[in-house]
């Protein structure tokens, strides 16, 4: 079946053909990580919709909205190869009218960890995701674990607002050298990339420990070894449901998350760890 490109609500209504619908929200610049999301959706659904929309609401005033990669023709080819049924590619003015006033608040959970460094970011994420849910009306949606706090907040929104949508999390896809795939990786120079590998090294080293104190200390030491070229925003060990920092006597699953700037490029990464196992 030919790939359908929908630009607005009416196009989406015409494209819907019944059965289970899966949505894969993206901002484009599709890579192997996105392909993994699409493949997971393909297994579960009769119809797969991929949205491609660079959402201005989730970028701060000093962030990289204007230079965020926009590769629509290449993205369409990826979608064809992965047998996507519909690509939803709205214009910003169609998503957000000139008199928009109402947004979704991410609450306290949206103001910690990543949210502390990007005020309002998660409000913008949840607002666009809710709009996509309302427009596409999927039965399920697939998001990457690489954006772990985003995934947790979307699950929280679905639960708090009683949305009839199943949220699936897909594992982080990595380059052979361990760097988590990201659309922003293309901005890294060869030297930047070597520095950036400290993120995944730190997470692996931390995950090999058993207690919160050991995990934090070990991961921080690896980051410190990278030197001043790695400008670390945070290293956080948090509850995966709330993203609150865990105590030293915490037991169970936790997320070890890191964010840092390498050159002019800001990267995030995380791993799930088990603390104080019996």
Helix (H) or strand (E) holding 237: strand 230-238
78, 50 in Cβ contact below 8 A?
A: no
Binding residues: 27-34, 58, 144-147, 150, 173, 181-184
What distance in Å separates the CA atoms of residue 236 and residue 114, rounded to the nearest whole number?
10
164: which 2 tokens?
């009839």
Q: Which stretch of DSSP H or E encloses residue 233?
A: strand 230-238
Query: In sequence order, which ranges of the chain are alpha helices (DSSP H)?
Result: 9-15, 32-44, 72-81, 92-95, 114-117, 121-136, 148-160, 190-207, 212-225
Question: Which residues are annotated as part of the binding site for beta-alanine?
Answer: 58
Tell me, yes or no, if 34 is annotated catalytic: yes
Binding residue numbers for (R)-pantoate: 58, 150
Q: Assess contact for 3 and 84: CB atoms under 8 A.
A: yes
Task: Give the active site residue among 34, 131, 216, 266.
Answer: 34
Mind giving me the DSSP string for 133-155?
A: HHHH--SEEEEEGGGHHHHHHHH
Cα separation, 270 vs 260, whole angstroms: 12
Both tokens of residue 174?
């990595």
Catalytic residues: 34
């Amino acid at each position: 079946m030919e790939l359908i490109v929908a630009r607005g609500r009416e196009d989406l209504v015409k494209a819907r053909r019944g059965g289970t619908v899966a949505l894969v929200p993206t901002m484009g610049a599709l890579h192997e990580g996105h392909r993994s999301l699409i493949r997971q959706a393909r297994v579960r659904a009769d119809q797969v919709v991929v949205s491609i929309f660079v959402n201005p609401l989730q970028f701060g005033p000093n962030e990289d909205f204007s230079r965020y990669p926009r590769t629509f023709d290449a993205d369409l080819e990826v979608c064809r190869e992965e047998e996507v049924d519909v690509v939803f590619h709205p214009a910003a003015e169609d998503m957000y009218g000139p008199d928009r006033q109402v947004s979704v608040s991410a609450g306290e959970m949206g103001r910690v960890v990543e949210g502390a460094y990007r005020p309002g970011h998660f409000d913008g994420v949840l607002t666009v995701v809710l709009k996509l849910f309302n427009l596409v009306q999927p039965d399920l949606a697939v998001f990457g674990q690489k954006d772990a706090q985003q995934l947790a907040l979307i699950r929280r929104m679905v639960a708090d607002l009683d949305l009839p949508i199943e949220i699936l999390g897909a594992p982080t896809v990595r380059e052979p050298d361990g760097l988590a795939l990201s659309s922003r990786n293309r901005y890294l120079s060869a030297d930047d990339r070597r520095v950036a590998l400290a993120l995944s090294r730190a997470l692996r080293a931390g995950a090999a420990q058993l207690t919160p104190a050991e995990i934090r200390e070990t991961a921080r030491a690896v980051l410190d070894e990278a030197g001043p070229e790695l400008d670390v925003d945070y290293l956080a060990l948090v509850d995966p449901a709330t993203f609150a920092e865990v105590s030293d006597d915490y037991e169970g699953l936790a997320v070890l998350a890191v964010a840092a700037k390498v050159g002019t490029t800001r990267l995030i990464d995380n791993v799930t760890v088990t603390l104080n196992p019996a």
